[in-house]
Chains A and B, each alone.
Chain A
Amino acid sequence: MNNMSKGARIAIYIGLIFWMLVNLFPVYWMFTFSLKDNAEIFGENVVGLPRHWLWSNYTSALKTGHIGVYFLNSTIVAVTTILITLAVALMATFALTRLIWKRRKTLNKFFMLGLTIPIHASIVPVYVTLSRLHLLNTYWALIIPYSAFSLSMAILVCTGFMNEIPRELDESACIDGCSIWGIFFRIIVPLMKPAVATVGIYTFLQCWNELMFANIFISKSSLKTLPVGIQALSGQYTTEWGPIGAALCLATFPTLILYIFLSRKIQESFIAGAVKG
C-alpha cells in the first residue's frame, strides 16, 4: 500500500467507498421507508430521513401482519434445529475421531457428501414422507430436514476442533474412572465451545433465512416462519409500503445485531463452512 502513488490510493478508496454505499443503501432505504407514510415514500421524500417517525407501521406489522408470530416460529425452529444438530454432530464426531474401528475415514467422507447435495434432491421424497407421517404443518417438518442438512457442515467443523483436543485428557479421565459418557460429557463437550459457537451461528442463519422448505412444508398461517410470513404479508399490503418495510426490518435486525457483535465469529463460520465444500 505504501509504495503506491497518492492518486492511485485515492482512486482505490473512492472505489471501496462506492461499493460500500451500494451495499448499505438498500438497508438504509428499507429502514427509512419502514417509518414513513405512503405520501413520503411515493414522492415527497423518497430517500431522505422520515419527517415524522411513524412507529405505527411497526405496530401494524406486528398486530395485523402477525410478524410477532412468525418471529416466534422462526426462533423455535432455529433453536431446536441448532440443539439437535449440535447433539447429533458432537456424538458422531466423537465416534469418528476418538473411537477405534475400521472404516471411520470412509464414513467421514460419506458424511461430507452432504456438503454438495442440493436441498432440491430431497424435496419430493421428504414431502411425501412427512405427509404420510402427518408431520406437515408441524415444526418438525422443518426441524428434521434443517438438522439433516446442517449435519455435514457441523461434523466438518467439530472434527477439526476435536482433533485438537489432546488424547492425554481422555486417558487421564479414563484412569480417574470416567466412563465413556463421562469422558464425552465432562471432558470433550466442554472443550468444544468454539466449535459449538461456529456451528450454532451458521445453522441459525441457514434456518432463519430458508425459504423453499418453509414455503412448501408449512401452509398453516400460525406456523409460518419469517421468510414465508413476509411473503404472505406483502400479498396482504400491496399498496401500503410502510408496514412491509417494518416487517422487513423486524426480520433483519436480529441478524444484523448479532453481526455487529459477532462479525468476526460469523465470518469465520462461513469460511469454515466452505473450506471443504
Chain B
Amino acid sequence: MADCAVSPKVKAALLRLSRDPGGTASPYTGRKITMHKIYSNKLHILIFLLPALILFCGVLIAPIGASLYYSFFDWKGIGAKTFIGLANYKELFTSNSIGFMKALRNSLLLALLSVFLQLPLALGLALTLGKNIKGERMFLSVYFMPVLISTVVIGQLWLKIYNPDYGILNVFLRKIGLESWTRIWLGDKNTALGAVFVPTLWQYVGYHMLLLYAGVKSVPMELREAAMLDGATDAQVNRYIVLPYIKPILRISVIFAVTGSLKSFDLIYVLTNGGPRHATEVPSTLMINMLFLRNRYGMGSTIAVMLIILCFGFALLISAMFREEE
C-alpha cells in the first residue's frame, strides 16, 4: 500500500512542518511550476467541488429560500398557492388555536432547564472525571452511552417506565407506600411536560459532559500544578484555571443546549406528540402537525422559518454574551 511505503517520508515531512508551521502560507515552493499548473487548472477545481456544491446547495441552501417563499402563501401542498403576505406570521403569533406562543414557551423552558440543570451536572461530572480519578474511562463511557441510543428506543423505553398500570415508576411508588403519588404521567396535563423533559435532559447530559471533559483534559498540567503549588484548593483551581480555559467549549455547550431545545422533536413526538391537549407542544411537533395532518404547507414553512431565525438568533446572542464577559 502507498501509505506504508511513504510512512518514513511522512514523518520527516511532518517534522519539517512542525518546525515551520507558517509553511502553509507559501505552499508549493521548489517545483512550483508543474504542481501549480495541475493544481490551478479550473476544470479540475470544478470537478472536485461540483458534487459537494450540488448536494449542499440543493438540500440545505436553496430550501431555506424556498421555505421563506412558501411562508408567504396559503398552500395545501397541491394546487394553486395564494399569496397572503405576512398573514401566516401574524396568525402564528396571535392565534390561540395554533398555540405557537405556548409551544415556544415550552421549548424555552426546556432550554432554561437544559442550561441551568443539565449543563451544571455535565460540568460537575467533567470536572470530577478530569482529575485522573480511578475508573475515569469506564465512567466516561457509561455516561456517554445514552447519546448513542436512538431517541425512539429511549422514548419507547420511557413510555414503559411511565405506563400508569405496569410502568416501573408507579410500581415503585406503590411498593414504597406512596400510592397517592402515582399518576398517569404522560396523560395528565400537569405532569406531562415534566415527564417529557426528564428523559430529554437525561439523554444528553453525557454529550455535554464529553465535550467539557475534552476541554478539561486539554488544560496544561503545568497550569494546574503551578496553582496547586501556590496553595490553591481544588475548587479554586476549577474556578480560576479550568473554567476560564474551557470557556470556548462552554459557549458551544450552551449554544447546543439552547438550539437543541428549540429544535427538540424526537422524544416528544414518541412520548406524547404534543398532547395531552397541547400541554407538551413544541415548535417542531406543531410544524409536523401543520404540514402532514392539516396540510397547511404555508404555515408549516412559517414555523420552519421562525425556527431557523430563533436558532441563529440565540447562537449569535449567546456568543455575544460570552464575548461581553471577556
Where the two chains meet, the residues of A that have a C-beta atom closer than 8 Å to any C-beta of B are 1, 3-4, 12, 15-16, 19-20, 22-24, 26-27, 29-30, 33, 41-43, 46-47, 87-89, 91-92, 94-96, 98-101, 107, 111, 113-114, 116-118, 120-128, 144-145, 147-149, 151-152, 155, 163-172, 174-175, 179-180, 183-184, 186-187, 190-191, 193, 205, 208-209, 211-212, 215-216, 226-228, 230-231, 234, 241, 244, 248, 251-252, 255-256, 259, 263, 266-267, 270-271, 274-275, 277
Assembled-state Cα–Cα distance A166/B9 (Å): 9
Given A118-B311, A216-B288, A251-B153; 19 other pairs, CB 8 A cutoff: A12-B128, A16-B133, A23-B143, A29-B157, A92-B48, A92-B52, A100-B28, A101-B40, A114-B56, A116-B312, A122-B67, A123-B304, A148-B60, A163-B24, A180-B41, A191-B10, A227-B152, A231-B152, A263-B137
Question: Cβ of B297 and Cβ of A124 under 8 Å apart?
Answer: yes
Majority secondary structure of chain A interface residues (helix, strand, loop or mixed): helix
A170 cross-chain contacts in B, Cβ below 8 A: 35, 39
CB nearest to A114 among chain B residues: B60
Number of interface residues of B (CB under 8 A): 110
Interface flags, B19-57, vs A, CB<8A=1, else 0: 000001001101100111011111011011101110110
Within 8 A of A (CB), among B271-304: 284, 287-288, 291-292, 297, 300-301, 303-304
Assembled-state Cα–Cα distance A255/B149 (Å): 7
Question: Cβ of A270 and Cβ of B59 under 8 Å apart?
Answer: no
With both chains docked as a complex, state the minimum distance between the C-beta of B20 and any C-beta of chain A, in angstroms.
11
Interface status of B16 (Cβ within 8 A of chain A): yes
Q: List 10 A-B contacts (CB under 8 A).
A: A42-B166, A122-B59, A123-B300, A124-B291, A155-B52, A174-B34, A216-B291, A251-B150, A251-B153, A259-B141
A164 cross-chain contacts in B, Cβ below 8 A: 14, 17
Where the two chains meet, the residues of B that have a C-beta atom closer than 8 Å to any C-beta of A are 1-3, 6, 9-10, 13-14, 16-17, 24, 27-28, 30-31, 34-36, 38-42, 44-45, 47-49, 51-53, 55-56, 58-64, 66-67, 70, 77, 125, 128-129, 131-133, 135, 137, 139-154, 156-161, 165-166, 168, 171, 202, 206-207, 210-211, 214, 228, 234, 252, 255-256, 259, 263, 265-266, 269-270, 284, 287-288, 291-292, 297, 300-301, 303-304, 307-308, 311-312, 315
